[in-house]
Chains A and B, each alone.
Chain A
Amino acid sequence: MRIRLTVNGQPRTLDVEPRTSLLEALRDGLGLTGAKLGCDRGECGTCTVLSRGRPIYSCLALACESQDLPLETIEGLGADGLHPVQRAFIAADALQCGFCTPGQILSATALLRRSPRAGDAEISRAMSGNLCRCGTYPKIRKAIRLAATTR
């Protein structure tokens, strides 16, 4: 079926199957491979994208149901120079292998947009859906605090 997605402000048309996930559509249909497939069942958060400004697991969303939703991926965040959250992740070394990093950054960005002065408990709740096996969490914490103060 032919669908229309709005990704990073751009209308994009592509052919998918009804069962195609939003993640597959982004990665295979549009070549936006910043969102990763880590588990394919909403457990790890590497597929995080923003839908209407809120982080979602794109592996659990159907592409055909994502029409008419403004979608934001990591590729859009850095489109006109680095976003303050991206800069903070670099400065704090809040990444190791980097596989979870796009998802972490999108979750952190969504949090700081809706709650620029988020406290520890709120950060913890907002970030717990994004796993990192390398153990960068202390530095992600540091990066979010840094981004909150430099925005």
Chain B
Amino acid sequence: MIDSKRFVTTTVEIEGREEMTVVEVPAFEPPPWGKDAALDTVGHAVPRLDAVDKVTGRARYTHDIRVPGMLHARLVRAGVPAGRVIRLDLSRARALQGVRAVLTGADLPRIPWLGGEPLFGPAVHYWGQPLAAVVADTEAIARDAVRRARVRCRAAPHRVDLPAGKASLRTGHSGVTPPEIRREERGDVTAALGGAEVTVTATYRVPAVVHQALETHGSVVHWDGDRVTVYDSTQGIFRVRRELAEHLGVGQHQIRVITEYMGGGFGAKNSCGAYTVIAALLSKATGRPVRCIWDRHEECVDAGHRPETEFRVTLAARRDGTLEAIDVDASIAMGVVGWPGGPGKIFQELYRCPNVRVVQRFWYGNVSGMESFRAPFHAEGAFALEGALDLLAHKLAMDPLELRRKNHSPQDPTKQRPYSSELLAECWTSVTQRIGWGAARKRKKTAGRFVQGVGMASQVWGAAGGPPAYAVVRLNRDGTALVQTGTQDLGTGARTIFAQIAAEALGLPMKDVRIVIGDTDGGPYTNNSWGSMTTPSVGPAVRMAAEDAKRQLFEVAAEILHAKAEQLEARRGRISVRGGPSITIRKVTEQLGDIMIMGRGHRGPNPSGVTVHSFGAQAALVEVDRLTGRVRVIRIVAAHDCGRVVNPLLAESQLHGGIILGLGYALFERLLNDAHLGRPLNLGLHEYKIPTYADIPEIDARIVSVADPVANHIGSKGLAEPPIIPTAPAIANAVFDAIGVQIRELPLTPARVLAALNEAASSLPG
């Protein structure tokens, strides 16, 4: 049967960027699973399908891939932050016993890399930039060989931090470059500021932070004849395949990318890495499989980061708290390359405000390029916006909760159109009730050493997902099913929830459904797992494929049961005529023998005329030690609106994950780049501290939504990124409540807290 196809244009939002794309309208759309849908598997706390593999050590990650004959590649890297390579001599490295090949720019085809300059080119733009590679029998020999490389660079002026004055120029990868500036305005901010009853202005800063996935970036590549097999730790197997095909000049059909298990991504593993290209070229050169894996220091230097950003924010309001204007000027230290998303966007999206002006200055400099990092730009912007809001509340002597309620936007303030669903006010109520907001805010701060405070913050995030995403469901003769889709599981639980969705739609128990993901040869296209898009994009495609298979199954069952296909339903492995006879699915497929039913599903376009966003709020209870300046977070409560939860176990884990990343952002994390040396100072996981077990407060995280049948027919919106957004501002606002002074720079280190306390003490009368 050939489906009649229609192609239409729709808008897809990926991490704040809106893209117009042509999409395929599905031949049929199953009716949405609404709020009251009776579901047997979806919505239930099913343990992860891969949990046994993960607790027994059987799960094989890219790091664990061992292919017979495999060689090990290591990189020679630049020791200056800017300049030019004037000598690169690998003869002593090549002469080492066990070294099989070396690779320099001279050996490579021209592969466009940093902003179009060639990979392994002579121009150096950041400390640690790859210049050449060696490949050897063991990792240890490869390391020895790298030490024998002789590299001389002529250094050039560099800049690794944000310029002190906005007007100064800085050295970028194409010489001295001014920032890229984007200005957007709705309403008339200048006029609104002129007539404002109350204004506050402040500068907020957030540091560069690194993803630090415990599995570092890397690939194992085997170029065998005309086939290139790539094991990669990636968030996007199809994107890696496409980019690698372009870099190598081969067809996509020649490349197979496999990501069975991956040890975290958080946004840093969205593209084809240099390690993949280098491993492929060295595999071709040696005829052997090649493993190229970043070590922990390389992970900190050359795997992306959330950019350092400075915000100058002015809020104008009426005396009753109604926002009249938001004016923000943001400077972002992108690194050598990056994608200019918008830390100003959350200022436009989160609250109702008629006049909003956003100026964003994207500065390029001599650190490796920024990469998306869980809620890129929104996490940064939220710290400044939610901080400024509490500053305004302080000036107005108003409860921060009331100020937020006053400026709640029940519709999308950027497009002036309704949301598919929106429960932000319910999230505020939920978190403030559970943290004991009213009593805690009124509690008189003691004069003792330890002082407590509570703070809150909110979140909005584009969470529609969208096409294209495809899935196939195959029924076996024993009544079991195989689900194939080309997505990947970063640790989110995608593997499990798509099996749940397929089981639900087919009416099969989970044990009879197997799912194959993470293999470009093993399932049809889906997009990267980024932008909190995977569940709302792939989920409907999987459901449709299962419904398509079930539709065909019903045609056979109708014959057997002497009924009409429309009268049939499938649940718990049985097909029944409503209120009548039934038959097991297995009996039907056995009758078919080896005739195979295959269902095909794809994600249809997003609904028009509505905005699909996820919302949430968090509140924090903190204790500040006035003697040492240490901030201890005692409790965090979270409430999020993400439509339907497919699996509450996994949803709660996602919330914990975002909150704990946000806790690190609030209290410890910053990548220090030395302005003089032009290199990072705190590489690794000791010098760069991430939260550990002992840092974790009590966390009470809940989902307040039930289903959003307008968003898509499974009713789910994105969830992965939202929970990091409000955590750091909620903690900072709690510290403000505790000590009465606002600290406007992350992380909230003891030194900054003590400086703020001193400032407060010196400003007191007498």
Residue numbers of A with Cβ under 8 A of B are: 17, 19-20, 24, 27-28, 31-41, 43-44, 46, 73-75, 77-78, 82, 86, 89-91, 93, 95-102, 105, 123-125, 127-141
Contact = CB atoms under 8 A, between A and B. Distances in A.
Contacts of A100: 214, 263
Contact of A125 (B51, B58, B650, B694): B694
Interface residues of B, number: 57
Interface stretch (B17-25, B243-251, B651-659): B651-659
Interface stretch (B59-67, B73-81, B400-408, B711-719): B59-67
Contacts of A137: 656, 660, 691-693, 696
Contact of A138 (B59, B140, B656): B656
A99 B215 contact: yes
A8 B691 CA distance: 32
Contact of A33 (B57, B212, B660): B57
Given A37-B63, A44-B214, A133-B266, A97 B56 contact: no
Contacts of A39: 296, 684-685
Contacts of A140: 693
Contacts of B295: 40
Given A74-B57, A139-B656, A99 B692 contact: no
Given A97-B262, A125-B694, 17 more contacts: A32-B57, A36-B263, A73-B57, A74-B56, A82-B55, A82-B56, A90-B55, A93-B652, A96-B492, A101-B55, A128-B694, A129-B692, A130-B693, A133-B266, A133-B690, A135-B658, A136-B653
B532 to A, nearest CB: 15
A36 B656 contact: no
A93 B491 contact: no
B651 to A, nearest CB: 10
Interface in B256-294: 261-264, 266
B441 interface: no
B344 to A, nearest CB: 28
A101 B48 CA distance: 14
A78 B212 contact: no
24 contacts: A33-B66, A41-B684, A43-B296, A43-B685, A44-B214, A75-B56, A82-B56, A86-B55, A89-B51, A90-B48, A90-B52, A93-B653, A96-B491, A97-B213, A97-B215, A99-B213, A102-B55, A127-B693, A130-B692, A131-B692, A133-B211, A134-B653, A135-B659, A137-B693
Contacts of A138: 656, 696, 699
A133 B652 contact: no
B115 to A, nearest CB: 29
A17 B140 contact: yes
B55 A89 contact: yes
Nearest to B697: A138
A interface SS class: loop
A100 B263 CA distance: 8
Given A101-B54, A137-B693, A36 B657 contact: no
A114 B138 CA distance: 38
B621 to A, nearest CB: 16
A40 B47 CA distance: 32
A139 B262 CA distance: 20
Interface in B174-214: 211-214
A34 B693 contact: no
B661 interface: yes
B246 to A, nearest CB: 29
A43 B684 contact: yes
A78 B653 contact: no
B226 interface: no
| Across the A-B interface, the 8 shortest Cβ-Cβ residue pairs | A34-B57, A97-B491, A99-B263, A135-B660, A98-B54, A135-B657, A74-B57, A33-B64
